């Protein structure tokens, strides 16, 4: 097929974005792609709110003493930053946006197993978000995102809104998890065996298992905390004979696995980013796939590493610490395999791949500092310092958010049917990388020197590093705004995207138009090769699919075999 | 190509692919066949059921921890609960589990009338459970036994001096008791609502041997409600 | 994907009624053993074993897991395994609190003191004296006041 001929046809007139235009058609849609887009917009708003709160926190810490706000306001701001970012952004983030959009297409399915539940899940999430924001304005929530008792059960009654909000948002998470597990089990296209699932699918699968098993426990924790506060039932409040450490068990039984709810999907995205831009199958596919599942299960056995200084049993601490080391193994397997995939690959430095490289660098720092914190003796020293703050930002922001943005760039042509400007996207990626490290690397040093977290003030000795960190946060914010600008520009002026700009081998690229038709595929795909068999893609596209130059154009999706695409 | 899209488009929203000969009315468009749809729905329900189990697990853990710390208090406090009423409710729930299983059995054989009557009996049994629970609660409230701060046992009835149960950690026992049975009761109410909806649809003849998925799923849910009570009963009332 | 041969097993009436009979029987047994037979510390495990058996009967026959897809059995087992993980790891801590003297010397006496305070509190309640909740609060000056108000 020739370039010029296909250029006329590559964007079909009717696609999932324009086949129905009313606002109601969006609000009542059960199309997984549209729901994914709705999540994208909503979560971008949440990320913006959380990010602004973060900038306020950093601004306050620019200089010692009161810079822009007093201690009480500061406590509320970092609390809201944590709650919005964790419960409203990070937990849903990749599964809700990219999972919704990509997962059914990776499976060759028309939709998720329960499309209406999927939509319900979105509205439940909105309800949870509304409750949180209401709590934000009702005010005076300064418990930190962890709601530790006894403080939370005696603090402002707005905590009641927040516990309900977390409870409600949890249901959204559970529904999404159930939906994805069933979809992966029951909705795969003919020929799509478990060994041919994309690694993104595998990681979403592992994530969903964690969501289903862990989220109910945060639900009941919030219910009990609610009653503790309302009725003083004396389960968690020591003044009434309760045990605050029991609350921490309940909380971390969910919240440690929740870390994997946040990071596992990022692992999946990174696998998808690395393979096509190295033109190699992910090395050790089975190990990478199964390590996700291993992490999901091991993740349930380590929650006590957040409680080393809580006064829990020492033997418990030792066991939790030991199992925490084990988690490093499957994670290391992944990093090793990603790096090996690059080895002798034909590396194509496009923006998504740059994000993948950033991820590898930042996540490795986040992961290694995590193992350090899992060491019982070191954690006693570093507990509740900026070292911990930096560690989880390296994992959550450097890991999840960077992977999410990378994934967004990667799938942007598929989602919107438009290409973005490569140069400004790369500049944004660079700004984010530099800004991120400038923000958080000083915090590692601060923490190791003893700067405690959640303080609005600090001694003069820390001033330089804090200032560097705050300046870094501005660079980081600038980078994120450039990303936003880049996407907005792409929507308005972007060149139409070909079906498979990256020459990738998964079904959403090989068998669907950009943007896809309302039913994803014109004919249900029959899968004949693995997700990273780029040589097979070469066959499908008669040679120009795997050349790595982004020139792939398709008249219409090849349905089954290469020969049928000629029609 | 555009005609292909157009022809498949109209069943996007409704899911009632009436125009397809091979598609029964209940089959949603994104499934290949009825078996796939049924299996998916059932698997989804099982996943939901384990979230229910884990939800209750939090309360069982709280119970176990406090019981392990203060076994004598829990033993003593549990004698205040009326095991006869608890036992009666156990039998009522077990019977309702049977009738809901029977209703599935009959609709699998296409017997709509038997489905209707068994659902009706199930709902009635569930109501009996709630009524018994109501009297149990009232008998406790009367003597100042509440969850949390209001806990202040007093008065004498049936030769039991409630005031002597005013001991530390008895409050925890009753708080856990009220929250657990309360959340369980909430699940019973949800079950009643679901089954009333099923009852209406059964009356209208919506279910058949070919399609009875909602009955099956509600049945699974109802059995889990029963199973949770099976554990609650001995732990709270007996030992 | 369609295997087409499972999920529609009709459980025979005889089994349903038989299982129901078994459940009633076990309920009676559990009441009798708990109320009449004193096995000391073994009463609790016995009651749990009976409850477990009853639950297994319900799951296997009423919920027809015996004839269902294997994957549903796997899901259900996962649920129970993680309840056990939750329970056992938490209990491991709560039963061995203060091992290796990681808690302060007066940790246990603190517990006793709290218990004593609680007893005194109850006494005051009984005698209708005003409660002095402040005293039991941890040193947390800023929030002692709103605590006292919450109770009404
Ligand atoms: Cu952790």
Please state, in angstroms and rounded to a whole number, the distance separating the CA atoms of residues A60 and A48.
Answer: 18
pLDDT band, very low/low/confident/very high, at A522 (cuts 50, 70, 90): confident
Cβ <8 Å between C97 and A311: yes
Question: Where in chain B are the domains?
Answer: 34-238
* H helices present in chain B, as ranges: 2-9, 11-14, 34-69, 71-78, 83-108, 112-142, 170-203, 213-233
CA A303 / ligand 1 centre spacing (Å): 5
pLDDT band, very low/low/confident/very high, at C75 (cuts 50, 70, 90): very high
Q: Give A381 to chain C, closest Cα distance, Å.
A: 15
Q: State the Cα angle at B53 between B52 and B56, rounded to 5°.
A: 90
Give the residue from B57, B70, B212 with the most C CB atoms within 10 Å of its CB, the best one to mutate. B57
Across A109-118, A199-208, A406-415, A506-515, least confident range: A506-515
Print burial letters for A43-78: b (CB count within 10 Å at least 16), e (below 16): beebbebbbebbbbbbbbbebbeeeebeeebbbbbb
As a whole number, mean pLDDT of residues A282-291 equals 93
Across A416-420, B181-185, C1-5, C64-68, least confident range: C1-5
User: Which residues 6+ apart lie within 8 Å of B176 measured at CB?
Assistant: A233, A235, B59, B62, B63, B66
Q: Which residues of B touch A243 (CB under 8 A)?
A: 65
User: Which residues 6+ apart lie within 8 Å of A566 measured at CB?
Assistant: A1
Please state, in angstroms and rounded to a whole number, the distance separating the CA atoms of residues C132 and A233.
Answer: 18
- Closest C-alpha to A305, from A380, A232, A243, A230: A380
Structural contact between residues A144 and A247, judged by C-beta atoms closer than 8 angstroms: no
User: Cβ of A160 under 8 Å from any chain C Cβ?
Assistant: no
Candidate from C85, C93, C147 with C-beta closest to A316: C93
The kind and range of the H/E element at A487 are: helix A463-493
Chain C touching partners, 3 or more CB pairs below 8 A:
A, B
Q: Give A545 to chain C, closest Cα distance, Å.
A: 30
Q: Give C69 to chain B, closest Cα distance, Å.
A: 8
- Count chain B–chain C contacts defined by CB atoms under 8 A: 148
- Topology of the domain covering A33-544: Cytochrome C Oxidase; Chain A (1.20.210)
CA A212 / ligand 1 centre spacing (Å): 18
Q: Which structure tokens are listed for A251? A: 């909380």
Candidate from B9, B58, B169 with C-beta closest to A217: B58
Convert the pLDDT of each residue in A313-356 to its tens digit.
Answer: 888 999 999 999 999 999 999 999 999 999 988 888 999 999 99
Structural contact between residues A272 and A303, judged by C-beta atoms closer than 8 angstroms: no
Please state, in angstroms and rounded to a whole number, the distance separating the CA atoms of residues A563 and C3.
Answer: 31
**Mean pLDDT estimate for chain B:** 86
User: Cβ of C141 under 8 Å from any chain A Cβ?
Assistant: no
For ligand 1, an ion, list residues with CB under 5 A.
A 256
Convert the pLDDT of each residue in A214-253 to its tens digit.
Answer: 999 999 999 999 999 888 888 998 888 888 999 999 999 9
Q: Is the pLDDT of residue A554 over 60?
A: no
- Closest C-alpha to B116, from B103, B98, B102: B103
Nearest residue of chain A to residue B29 (CA atoms): A110
Cβ <8 Å between B147 and A233: yes
Q: Give B28 to chain A, closest Cα distance, Å.
A: 10
Structural contact between residues B214 and B155, judged by C-beta atoms closer than 8 angstroms: no
Angle between helices C43-57 and C13-35 (to 10 degrees): 170
pLDDT band, very low/low/confident/very high, at C151 (cuts 50, 70, 90): very low
Across A159-163, A510-514, C98-102, C148-152, least confident range: C148-152
Residue C130 CB-half CA count within 13 A: 5
Q: pLDDT higher for A362 or C96?
A: A362
Please state, in angstroms and rounded to a whole number, the distance separating the CA atoms of residues C89 and B68.
Answer: 14
Candidate from A114, A220, A233 with C-beta closest to B44: A114
Answer whether the bond into residue A150 is a cis peptide, omega within 30°: yes
User: Which residues 6+ apart lie within 8 Å of A10 measured at CB?
Assistant: A496, A498, A499, A513, A514, A553, A554, A555
Structural contact between residues B239 and B78, judged by C-beta atoms closer than 8 angstroms: yes
Convert the pLDDT of each residue in B68-113 to its tens digit.
Answer: 988 888 888 888 898 999 999 999 999 999 999 999 999 999 999 9
The per-residue pLDDT string of chain B (239 residues; one tens digit each, 9 = 90 and over) reads: 333 333 333 333 333 333 444 567 778 877 888 888 899 999 999 999 999 999 999 999 999 999 998 888 888 888 889 899 999 999 999 999 999 999 999 999 999 999 999 999 999 999 999 999 999 999 889 888 888 787 888 888 777 778 778 888 888 999 999 999 999 999 999 999 999 999 999 999 999 998 999 999 999 999 999 999 999 999 999 88
- Name the percent of chain B lying above pLDDT 90: 61
Cβ <8 Å between C151 and A304: no
Cβ <8 Å between B55 and A250: no
Cβ <8 Å between B172 and A519: no
CA A309 / ligand 1 centre spacing (Å): 14
Q: What are phi and psi of A413, to 5 degrees?
A: -60, -35
Cβ <8 Å between C91 and B68: yes
Nearest residue of chain A to residue C114 (CA atoms): A241
Structural contact between residues B228 and B184, judged by C-beta atoms closer than 8 angstroms: yes
Cβ <8 Å between B105 and C87: no
Cβ <8 Å between B32 and C2: yes
- How many CB atoms neighbour CB C116 within 10 A? 12
pLDDT band, very low/low/confident/very high, at C129 (cuts 50, 70, 90): low
Q: Which residues of A touch B2 (CB under 8 A)?
A: 12-14
Q: Which residues of B touch A181 (CB under 8 A)?
A: 43, 47
User: Cβ of C148 under 8 Å from any chain A Cβ?
Assistant: no
Candidate from A155, A213, A312 with C-beta closest to C93: A312
As a whole number, mean pLDDT of residues A527-533 equals 86
CA A282 / ligand 1 centre spacing (Å): 28
Cross-strand pairs, A385: A452
- How many CB atoms neighbour CB B14 within 10 A? 10
Cβ <8 Å between C143 and A151: yes
pLDDT of residue C2: 37
Q: Which structure tokens are listed for A33? A: 């792609």
User: Cβ of A230 under 8 Å from any chain B Cβ?
Assistant: yes
Please state, in angstroms and rounded to a whole number, the distance separating the CA atoms of residues C133 and C146.
Answer: 11
Structural contact between residues A109 and A59, judged by C-beta atoms closer than 8 angstroms: no
Which A residues in the span 241-300 are in contact with C, Cβ-Cβ below 8 Å? 241, 243, 245-246, 249, 253, 300
Cβ <8 Å between A234 and B148: yes
Which contacts qualify for A296-299: CB closer than 8 Å, 24 or more apart? A296/A206, A296/A207, A296/A209, A296/A210, A296/A257, A296/A260, A296/A264, A297/A209, A298/A323, A298/A326, A298/A327, A298/A330, A299/A210, A299/A256, A299/A257, A299/A259, A299/A260, A299/A327
Cβ <8 Å between B109 and C10: yes
- Count chain A–chain B contacts defined by CB atoms under 8 A: 132
pLDDT of residue C148: 32
User: Cβ of A238 under 8 Å from any chain C Cβ?
Assistant: yes
pLDDT band, very low/low/confident/very high, at A199 (cuts 50, 70, 90): very high
pLDDT band, very low/low/confident/very high, at A519 (cuts 50, 70, 90): confident
Q: pLDDT higher for A527 or A55?
A: A55
Please state, in angstroms and rounded to a whole number, the distance separating the CA atoms of residues B138 and B117.
Answer: 32
Nearest residue of chain C to residue B110 (CA atoms): C10
User: Cβ of A159 under 8 Å from any chain B Cβ?
Assistant: no
The kind and range of the H/E element at A392 are: helix A386-395
Across A109-113, A132-136, B198-202, C107-111, least confident range: C107-111
Place of tokens 């409680």: A307
Q: Which residues of A touch B169 (CB under 8 A)?
A: 241
pLDDT of residue B30: 79
CA B83 / ligand 1 centre spacing (Å): 43
Cβ <8 Å between B149 and A232: yes
HEC per residue, A394-435: HHHHHHHHHHHHHHHHHHHHHHHCECCCHHHHHHHHHHHHHH
Q: Is the pLDDT of residue A8 over 70?
A: no
Cβ <8 Å between A114 and B57: no
| CATH match for B34-238 among 1.20.120.80, 3.40.350.10, 3.40.50.410, 3.80.30.20 | 1.20.120.80
CA A302 / ligand 1 centre spacing (Å): 7
ipTM of the complex: 0.89
pLDDT of residue C102: 56
**Mean pLDDT estimate for chain A:** 89
Question: Where in chain A are the domains?
Answer: 33-544
Structural contact between residues A391 and A373, judged by C-beta atoms closer than 8 angstroms: yes
Q: pLDDT higher for A565 or A124?
A: A124
pLDDT of residue A500: 86
User: Cβ of A197 under 8 Å from any chain C Cβ?
Assistant: no
**DSSP β-ladder status, B160-161 and B156-157:** antiparallel
Give the residue from B122, B168, B171, B209 with the most C CB atoms within 10 Å of its CB, the best one to mutate. B168
Across A110-124, A387-401, C46-60, C119-133, least confident range: C119-133
Q: Is the pLDDT of residue A365 over 50?
A: yes
- Name the percent of chain A lying above pLDDT 90: 72
Q: Is the pLDDT of residue A379 over 60?
A: yes
Nearest residue of chain B to residue A567 (CA atoms): B1
HEC per residue, A256-324: HHHHHHHHHHHHHHHHHHHHHHHCCCCCCHHHHHHHHHHHHHHHHHCHHHHCCCCCCCHHHHHHHHHHH
Cβ <8 Å between A300 and C100: no
- How many CB atoms neighbour CB C105 within 10 A? 8
pLDDT of residue A550: 38
HEC per residue, A538-550: HHHCCCCCCCCCC
pLDDT of residue B10: 34
Q: Which structure tokens are listed for A566? A: 């000629």
Place of tokens 């202040």: B152
Q: Can you say how many angstroms the Cα of residue A88 is from the centroid of all Cα atoms in its chain?
A: 11
Q: Is the pLDDT of residue A422 over 80?
A: yes
Cβ <8 Å between B179 and A233: yes
Convert the pLDDT of each residue in A246-266 to its tens digit.
Answer: 999 999 999 999 999 999 999
Greatest alpha-carbon span in chain B: 84
Q: Give C60 to chain A, closest Cα distance, Å.
A: 22
Cβ <8 Å between B36 and A243: no
- Closest C-alpha to A426, from A476, A493, A353, A347: A353
pLDDT band, very low/low/confident/very high, at C143 (cuts 50, 70, 90): very low
Structural contact between residues B43 and A182, judged by C-beta atoms closer than 8 angstroms: yes
Q: Can you say how many angstroms the Cα of residue B217 is from the centroid of all Cα atoms in its chain?
A: 12
Please state, in angstroms and rounded to a whole number, the distance separating the CA atoms of residues B237 and B239.
Answer: 6
Cβ <8 Å between A233 and B47: no
Structural contact between residues A227 and B148, judged by C-beta atoms closer than 8 angstroms: yes
- How many CB atoms neighbour CB B4 within 10 A? 13
């Amino acid at each position: 097929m020739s370039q010029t001929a296909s250029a006329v046809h590559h964007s079909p007139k009717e696609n999932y974005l324009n086949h129905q235009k009313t606002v109601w058609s969006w609000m009542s849609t059960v199309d997984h792609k549209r729901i994914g887009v709705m999540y994208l917009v909503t979560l971008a708003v949440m990320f913006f709110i959380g990010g602004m709160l973060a900038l306020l926190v950093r601004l306050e810490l620019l200089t010692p003493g009161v810079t822009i706000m007093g201690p009480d306001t500061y406590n509320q701001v970092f609390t809201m930053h944590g709650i919005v970012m964790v419960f409203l952004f990070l937990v849903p983030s990749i599964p809700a946006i990219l999972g919704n959009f990509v997962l059914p297409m990776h499976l060759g399915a028309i939709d998720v197993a329960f499309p209406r539940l999927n939509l319900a899940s979105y509205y439940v999430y909105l309800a949870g978000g509304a409750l949180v924001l209401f709590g934000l304005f009702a005010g005076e929530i300064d418990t930190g995102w962890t709601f530790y008792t006894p403080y939370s059960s005696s603090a402002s009654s707005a905590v009641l809104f927040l516990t309900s909000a977390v409870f409600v948002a949890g249901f959204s998470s559970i529904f999404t998890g159930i939906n994805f597990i069933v979809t992966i089990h029951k909705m795969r296209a003919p020929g799509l065996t478990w060994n041919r699932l994309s690694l993104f699918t595998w990681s979403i699968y592992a994530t969903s298992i964690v969501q289903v098993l862990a989220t109910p426990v945060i639900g009941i924790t919030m219910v009990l905390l609610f009653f503790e506060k309302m009725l003083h039932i004396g389960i968690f409040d020591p003044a009434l004979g309760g045990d605050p450490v029991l609350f921490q068990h309940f909380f971390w039984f969910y919240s440690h696995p929740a870390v994997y709810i946040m990071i596992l999907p990022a692992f999946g995205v990174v696998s998808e980013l690395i393979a096509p831009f190295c033109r190699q199958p992910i090395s050790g596919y089975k190990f990478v796939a199964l390590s996700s599942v291993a992490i999901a299960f091991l993740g349930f056995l380590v929650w006590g590493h957040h409680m080393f200084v809580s006064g829990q049993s020492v033997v418990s601490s030792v066991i939790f610490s030991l199992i925490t080391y084990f988690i490093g193994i499957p994670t290391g397997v992944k990093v090793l395999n990603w790096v090996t995939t690059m080895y002798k690959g034909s590396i194509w430095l496009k923006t998504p791949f740059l994000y993948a490289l950033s991820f590898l660098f930042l996540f490795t720092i986040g992961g290694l500092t995590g193992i350090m914190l899992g060491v019982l003796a070191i954690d006693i020293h570093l507990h509740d310092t900026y070292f911990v703050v930096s560690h989880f930002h390296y994992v959550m922001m450097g890991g999840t958010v960077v992977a999410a943005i990378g994934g967004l760039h990667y799938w942007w042509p598929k989602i919107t049917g438009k290409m973005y400007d490569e140069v400004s996207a790369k500049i944004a990626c660079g700004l984010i990388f530099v800004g991120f490290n400038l923000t958080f690397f000083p915090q590692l040093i601060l923490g190791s020197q003893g700067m405690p977290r959640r303080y609005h003030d600090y001694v003069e000795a820390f001033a330089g590093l804090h200032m560097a960190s705050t300046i870094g946060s501005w660079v980081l914010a600038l980078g994120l705004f450039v990303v936003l600008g880049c996407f907005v520009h792409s929507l308005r002026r972007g060149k139409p995207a070909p079906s498979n700009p990256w020459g990738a081998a998964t079904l959403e690229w090989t068998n669907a138009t950009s943007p896809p038709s309302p039913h994803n595929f014109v004919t249900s795909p029959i899968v004949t090769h693995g997700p990273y068999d780029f040589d097979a893609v070469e066959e499908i596209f008669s040679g120009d699919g795997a050349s790595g130059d982004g020139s792939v154009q398709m008249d219409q999706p090849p349905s089954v075999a290469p020969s049928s695409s000629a029609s | 190509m555009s005609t292909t899209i157009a022809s498949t488009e109209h069943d996007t929203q409704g899911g009632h692919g009436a125009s397809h000969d091979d598609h029964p009315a209940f089959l949603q468009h994104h499934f290949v066949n009825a078996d796939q749809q049924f299996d998916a729905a059932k698997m989804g329900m099982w996943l939901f059921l384990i979230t229910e189990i884990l939800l209750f697990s939090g309360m069982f853990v709280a119970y176990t921890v406090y019981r392990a710390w203060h076994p004598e208090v829990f033993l003593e406090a549990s004698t205040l609960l009326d095991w006869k009423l608890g036992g009666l409710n156990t039998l009522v729930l077990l019977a309702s589990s049977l009738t809901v299983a029977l209703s599935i059995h009959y609709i699998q054989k296409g017997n709509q009338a038997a489905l209707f009557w068994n659902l009706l009996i199930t709902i009635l049994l569930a109501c009996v459970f709630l009524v018994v629970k109501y009297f149990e609660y009232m008998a406790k409230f009367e003597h100042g036994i509440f969850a949390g701060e209001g806990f202040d046992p007093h008065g004498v009835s049936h030769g039991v001096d409630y005031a002597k149960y005013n001991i530390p950690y008895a409050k925890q026992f009753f708080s856990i008791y009220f929250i657990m049975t309360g959340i369980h009761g909430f699940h019973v109410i949800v079950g009643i609502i679901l089954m009333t909806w099923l009852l209406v649809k059964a009356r209208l003849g919506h279910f058949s041997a070919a399609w009875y998925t909602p009955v099956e799923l509600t049945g699974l849910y109802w059995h889990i409600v029963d199973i949770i009570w099976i554990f609650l009963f001995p732990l709270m009332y007996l030992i | 994907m369609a295997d087409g041969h499972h999920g529609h097993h009709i459980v025979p009436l005889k089994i349903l009624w038989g299982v129901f009979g078994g459940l009633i029987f076990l309920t009676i047994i559990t009441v009798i053993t708990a109320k009449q037979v004193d096995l000391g510390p073994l009463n609790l495990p016995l009651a749990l074993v009976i409850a477990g058996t009853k639950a297994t009967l319900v799951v296997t026959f009423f919920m027809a897991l015996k004839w269902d897809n294997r994957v549903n059995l796997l899901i259900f087992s996962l649920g129970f395994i993680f309840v056990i993980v939750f329970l056992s790891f938490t209990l491991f801590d709560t039963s061995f609190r203060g091992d290796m003297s990681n808690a302060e010397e007066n940790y246990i006496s603190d517990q006793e003191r709290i218990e004593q305070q609680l007893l005194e509190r109850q006494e005051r309640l009984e005698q209708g004296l005003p409660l002095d909740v402040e005293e039991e609060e941890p040193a947390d000056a800023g929030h002692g006041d709103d605590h006292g108000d919450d109770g009404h």
